[in-house]
Amino acid sequence: MRKLTAVFILLAFAAIAWCQDVPRTPMAQTDAQNAFAKLKSLAGSWDGVLSGTGTPFDGKTLHFTLRVTSTGNALLHEMTGLPGRPDDPITMFYLDEDRLMLTHYCDAGNRPRMTAKMSPDGKILDFDLVDVAGGTQKGHMHHVKFTFIDADHHTEDWTFMLPNGKSGPGHFELVRAK
């Protein structure tokens, strides 16, 4: 029995040594993984001016914080500085199998989920609505688009769908805060 145990131990060590010598070919990343990596490159602090809403918020400068969290498995997006708002909407970006997803925790009291598609040139990341949890009586976020310009500039377009079916856009020109 001791000889048999010794043989198994030697075989186990041989298998471990062999695996360490085998060259590893890196696995190709999926489109969703590439898009998520690009989105995570926006981690940091950003300032942006809101336009296109037709509301008193147009022209206001808001602050955005994007933070990679959960050991790289999620990106937290928080917008602050909306006048008269006691709290801030947040959005979580994450991979769900082969899809890049977002869940937006909206001040309308709901949680829209969207899935992303990256443009062929890698400059635009479009999120389309999948579903909404929590009801749409006060409206809901319906579409989000990120346009990558360079390491210190990007735009975000957020489309809010009103209960009457009309949409309200919000465009942000963002500059990395130094």
- pLDDT at res. 23: 58
Contacts by residues 28-37 (CB-CB < 8 Å, ≥ 24 positions apart): 30/98, 31/98, 31/118, 32/95, 32/98, 32/99, 32/100, 32/116, 33/95, 34/118, 34/122, 35/100, 35/116, 35/118, 35/125, 36/75, 36/93, 36/94, 36/95, 36/100
Digitized pLDDT (tens) for each residue of the chain, 178 residues in all: 666 555 455 545 555 555 555 555 567 889 999 999 999 999 999 999 999 888 888 898 999 999 999 999 999 999 998 777 767 889 999 999 999 999 999 989 999 999 999 999 999 999 999 999 999 999 999 999 999 999 999 999 999 999 999 998 999 999 999 8
- pLDDT at res. 70: 97
Please give the CATH topology (third level) of the domain spanning 31-176: Lipocalin (2.40.128)
What is the rounded distance in angstroms from the CA atom of residue 44 to the CA atom of residue 34? 19
Listed by start position, the domains of the chain span 31-176
pTM, 2 dp: 0.83
